Amino acid sequence: MSAADSIHGMWSTRLAFILAASGSAVGLGNIWRFPYTAGEYGGGAFVLVYVLCVVLIGVPIMMAEIMLGRRGRRSPINTMRALASAEGRSPAWQLLGWMGILAGFLILSFYSVIAGWTMGYMFRAATGMFTGIDGAGAGEMFSGLIGDAERLLAWHTIFMIMVVLVVARGVAGGLEKAVRVLMPALFVLLVVMVGYGMQAGDFDKAVTYLFEPDFAEFQGKAGEAILSAMGQAFFSLSLGMGAIMIYGSYLKRDSSIAQNTMIIAGLDTLVALLAGLAIFPIVFAHGLAPDSGPGLIFQTLPIAFGDMPGGPFFGTLFFVLLLFAAWTSAISLLEPLVAWLVENLSFSRVRASVLGGLTVWLLGIACLLSLNAWSEVKIFGKGFLDLFDFLTANILLPLGGVLIAVFAGWILARSSSSDELQMGEGLAYRLWWVLIRYVAPIAVGIVLLNAVGVLKW
């Protein structure tokens, strides 16, 4: 290992990094969260704002996160401290890393519960429980699952054990091989589902719904809709909390950050749009409501699997692959904390992962109980699961993103960023410079200020 390497290991090849970072980005955010959030805000207008956020805010911030990670080669907390001190700035920049750890905890606590739903559905598909199911039946099946706290706890526990097992062994190891096979498989299966939607669903209506923006849908809730689209972009691209930063810290110097970012963000967006194209044809063909909320895919996909030839096989495979996508995302949520515990408190990876996993597991119990026994407990009008989801995707991740943009654009010397990005002073670099210095911080800042009520449009 050379002095320029991370003590936590390095990706063996450029492809390994792309696979791991796409594994982090592609997950429940694309397939579970994107369709129901788009459905809540009426489709096309939301999708358009979402894509704009990915291109104008997500891409430059992802480049900045990878760049900072690779320059720091440590956990986000120590990377930010070291880079700030190299520029003669306050160590307070490490707070960005701490905020990321908090966001990671909160996200993983509910993410694991939803991954648990996926496991439950894997078995429902395998045992033929979807056969001939209609909208009402699928709705009942879903309510039955989320009302059953013990079952949810069992799945949540199994998922957290799966996450801790991988993180304890080190993410630069076996992750790569599994992602290489299973990600393309998920992709192919999504395409099959879109094909089913074309044939058996109301595909035309779904396309119109998703791709013909109707801003009338935003009437009276434009601020909220834009905040959600932006939050969805941060969540889906794994930005703003250090997950991509730590993966960047294991990346070799000779790999182009801009190209890698384009591939990762492009794939992530494609998967989200495919998920929308798979789900909405079924929604419309069966008269279901696009704004059904977090249960949307669990109330629609079973109808398709229950109807298509080979349904139990495709259904099981789909939920297995979705579980896998969730797993590779969850791993990246725990990694920044584990790296810090190893660096600063000399924990072994095993001890660090178990400690982090246990904390998340406890928080997750509050989330799963908020679906049933604690359904009356509300903070700011939301149960724990909804609250953690809102707070992280819509507030903490964008806030982290603004700070990353400000650091990369205003604090880090221009010579350092152009050196690390290896783009010289060409047009592409200058474009990134404008986006990271002005466009991203100002746009995210305005949306956030509007959300907390400081600025009301």
Residue selected from 6, 22, 24, 300 as contacting ligand PFF according to rule CB under 6 A: 24
Q: Could you give the residue ranges of the DSSP H alpha helices within 286-310? A: 296-307
Measured CA to CA, the distance from residue 350 to residue 338 in angstroms comes to: 9
Measured CA to CA, the distance from residue 411 to residue 80 in angstroms comes to: 11
Helix axes 311-345, 76-86, angle to 10 degrees: 50
Residue 6 or 30: the one with the smaller Cβ distance to ligand PFF is 30
Q: CB-based burial of residue 245 (10 Å sphere; 0-12 exposed, 13-18 middle, 19+ buried)?
A: buried
Interaction of residue 238 with ligand PFF, rule CB under 6 A: yes
Residue selected from 22, 37, 236, 394 as contacting ligand PFF according to rule CB under 6 A: 236
Residue 99 or 303: the one with the smaller Cβ distance to ligand PFF is 99
Interaction of residue 25 with ligand PFF, rule CB under 6 A: yes
Both tokens assigned to 245: 């930063």
Calculate the alpha carbon distances from 333 to 233, 259, 261 in Å.
16, 23, 19
Q: Which stretch binds ligand PFF (CB under 6 A): 6-14, 232-240, 302-310, 315-323?
A: 232-240
Which DSSP letter does residue 288 get?
-
Residue selected from 203, 235, 384, 433 as contacting ligand PFF according to rule CB under 6 A: 235
Listed in sequence order, the residues at least 6 apart from 132 whose beta carbon sits closer than 8 Å to its beta carbon are: 306, 307
Binding to ligand PFF, residues 153-182 (CB under 6 A):
none
Q: Which stretch binds ligand PFF (CB under 6 A): 58-66, 237-245, 250-258, 347-355?
A: 237-245
Compute the least distance from the CB of residue 271 to ligand PFF, in Å. Answer: 9
Measured CA to CA, the distance from residue 456 to residue 273 in angstroms comes to: 31
CA 438 to chain centre: 25
Q: In this chain, which residue has its C-beta nearest to ligand PFF?
A: 29
Interaction of residue 118 with ligand PFF, rule CB under 6 A: no
Interaction of residue 54 with ligand PFF, rule CB under 6 A: no
Compute the least distance from the CB of residue 63 to ligand PFF, in Å. Answer: 16
Q: Which stretch binds ligand PFF (CB under 6 A): 22-30, 143-151, 160-168, 447-455?
A: 22-30
Compute the least distance from the CB of residue 253 to ligand PFF, in Å. Answer: 24
| CA 397, 399, 402, 403 torsion-angle sign | negative
Residue 27 or 295: the one with the smaller Cβ distance to ligand PFF is 27
Interaction of residue 109 with ligand PFF, rule CB under 6 A: no
Compute the least distance from the CB of residue 162 to ligand PFF, in Å. Answer: 15
Question: What residues does 379 pair with on adjacent strands?
Answer: 382
Binding to ligand PFF, residues 29-48 (CB under 6 A):
29-30
Calculate the alpha carbon distances from 377 to 22, 301, 333, 371, 381 in Å.
36, 30, 27, 10, 9
Residue 165 or 198: the one with the smaller Cβ distance to ligand PFF is 165
Residue selected from 28, 404, 412, 451 as contacting ligand PFF according to rule CB under 6 A: 28
Residue selected from 19, 45, 107, 172 as contacting ligand PFF according to rule CB under 6 A: 107
Interaction of residue 400 with ligand PFF, rule CB under 6 A: no
Measured CA to CA, the distance from residue 251 to residue 239 in angstroms comes to: 17
Both tokens assigned to 173: 């190891």
Residues 170 and 349: beta-carbon distance below 8 Å: yes
Listed in sequence order, the residues at least 6 apart from 144 whose beta carbon sits closer than 8 Å to its beta carbon are: none
Compute the least distance from the CB of residue 389 to ligand PFF, in Å. Answer: 11
Compute the least distance from the CB of residue 28 to ligand PFF, in Å. Answer: 4
Interaction of residue 243 with ligand PFF, rule CB under 6 A: yes
Residue 311 or 401: the one with the smaller Cβ distance to ligand PFF is 401
Residue 28 or 172: the one with the smaller Cβ distance to ligand PFF is 28
Binding to ligand PFF, residues 325-354 (CB under 6 A):
329, 332-333
Measured CA to CA, the distance from residue 284 to residue 207 in angstroms comes to: 11
Q: Is 379 helix (H, G, I), strand (E, B) or coil?
A: strand
Q: Which residues bind ligand PFF (CB under 6 A)?
A: 24-25, 27-30, 107, 235-236, 238, 241, 243, 329, 332-333
